[in-house]
Structure 1
């Protein structure tokens, strides 16, 4: 991608690395786990061609952005302030946010906490779920082994510092290849296979990953980009986002049940566990996303939607943005 501009801008974390293409109204693209700005490589040129200033960032803990050592530095309020800092550093007053995976709740909460800065939001793969209910760690503990026999839910597995790192970091490239394949439509395990979102007792998450081929959206060169970044940075910064979920639940208590009122878009994959587990959250959108313009499950889509189905995602994103303008 030789026609993009790389920048480092100041943020509360220290610095945020971003990649920019195009000019016009600002659209900020926020990735999820385990990705980087590069997961938006198909959207940057499409949005630029449609007349937008498209900016994909490395979330704190990833890539060339700062990686604070304290796990508490990865709480949601801190990430919201990073997004605000990026907008200000780019000389803008407002932006539209697009988030995928963890980037989806980061984008939604940025719109919720800072409606003065974020005028609209598009959420990919992970539905908006307002703060509420029991403490997240209690919810995940109840999911352990759900319907799968003995096993631990992956979010619970990620909680203890160093545990998942010990599994992933000896072979980052191989682990990433398996993780991407496990959640992609064309390579995910069959419905009757052990669920890759759970860890068997004394096992690893990787034990349940498919092996042997990459998903169609991921070339060897693409995998090299992702693996190269995590081999350089390690996995702790990325995993620390999972380790702040209880802190977020406490921090966001004043926003219990709060809707995001700005214009919004939701796109999910029909084969993505995120959309099936959280189907009630999608059904609640009339109350939780009262500004919803469109909500679509792309038939046969997996989790890495903007990479698996870039043309369709780009079309729906540009239609959404054009309607705003």
Structure 2
């Protein structure tokens, strides 16, 4: 069943049978032409691509933004292991096929960048090019992820480790979803992030919570009260477990993807990051390694004065870079 809102169409497609059985993926579609699949990160939804959908449509593309499983109007399987990377890649393939297409360009932000990268790696027959926003491509490898994260921070706890225990982060977030999201978005936005030298909001002090270090007092410039209503309304309805379960599968992914250890992505690729985003500063070595890990890279940019929420903080610049890159791809 489709619902038309202006030029945007909302619909759901059936996701494949698997560990969690049949489910559905909600998507938002605009335009016609070659398919561009947009995959959001944490803690967001299809709505994070609201500035890209009309621009891609106007440029002659079929732009489709999904709610990743566990988010929004997509299915939220109960089993934690139903959120492993293999399942999310299968969801992306299902969306392409359900739309009657044989191939797509996949573009992801944050966790969506990792999902997009693995979609390109595992299904090069479907995903002909890949765009990565904010989080650089880092091939599978190294120690078990939870072991690596546990060694970070000294006496403090890295947020990924904090997210591992089911129910723990939920107990912090769900009593005040709107307030927590406001602080989390502000902590990683260029105009509201903590000053250099302030306690790092990616870490939790022993016995503390993440929000202890979130900035307070104002919204980032890119986030209106109406935008916050959309994000908070979805998570107030769904809870946070589906979104957090992505973090709880990092060790399973490490095991599932062992055959791809160190694998490069050969398809044409794009990277756009923010210079003030810890994703690009902590993973600077991954960006330096792109000639080896992304041999098909044709466009790479670090935006001055930009934080983590790149396609919302700097929509005009991201749209220009994205459409220029798409226009230069082989037919």
Matched, 1:199 2:199: no
Aligned match for 1:125, one of 109, 123, 134: 134
TM-score by length of 2: 0.96
SS in 1 for 2:14: strand
* Residue matched to 2:259: 254
Instruction: Tell whether 2:20 aligns with 1:11.
Output: no
| Structure 2 portions without partners, runs of 5+ | 17-21
2:46 counterpart of 1:37:
yes
What per-residue deviation string (whole Å, max 9, x for no partner) do you get for residues 126-151 of structure 1?
00000001000111011134xxxx31
Aligned mates of 2:51, 2:148 — CA distance in 1? 35
SS of 2:108's equivalent? strand
Q: State the number of aligned residues.
A: 321
Shift of 1:192: 1.1
What corresponds to 1:139 in structure 2?
A: 148
Structure 1 Cα separation of the partners of residues 134 and 305 of structure 2: 13
TM (norm. structure 1) is 0.98
| Correspondence list, 1:50-65, <5 A | 50-65=59-74
Distance 2:253 2:70 in 1: 17
Q: Tell me, in whole angstroms, the C-alpha distance in 2 between the residues paired with 1:50 and 1:143.
A: 44
Cα deviation digits, residues 248-303 of structure 1 (max 9, x gap): 00000000000000000000000000000000000000000000001111011100
Look up the match of 1:49. 58
The correspondence of residues 135-174 of structure 1 with structure 2, limited to 5 A, is 135-145=144-154, 150-174=155-179
Aligned partners of 1:3, 1:25: CA distance in 2, in Å? 17
Q: Distance in 2 between matches of 1:259 and 1:245?
A: 19
1:100 pairs, out of 100, 109, 120, with: 109
CA distance in 2, matches of 1:33, 1:322: 28
Question: Residues 226-269 of structure 1: CA distance to partner in whole angstroms, max 9, x if unpaired?
Answer: 00000000000000000000000000000000000000000000
- Match among 220, 223, 231 for residue 226 of structure 1: 231
Is 2:304 the counterpart of 1:299?
Answer: yes
Matched with 2:19 is: none
Ranges in structure 1 where 5+ consecutive residues have no aligned partner = none
For 1:249 and 1:144, locate their aligned partners in 2 and report how far apart those are by CA, in whole Å.
Answer: 22
Secondary structure, aligned partner of 2:74: coil
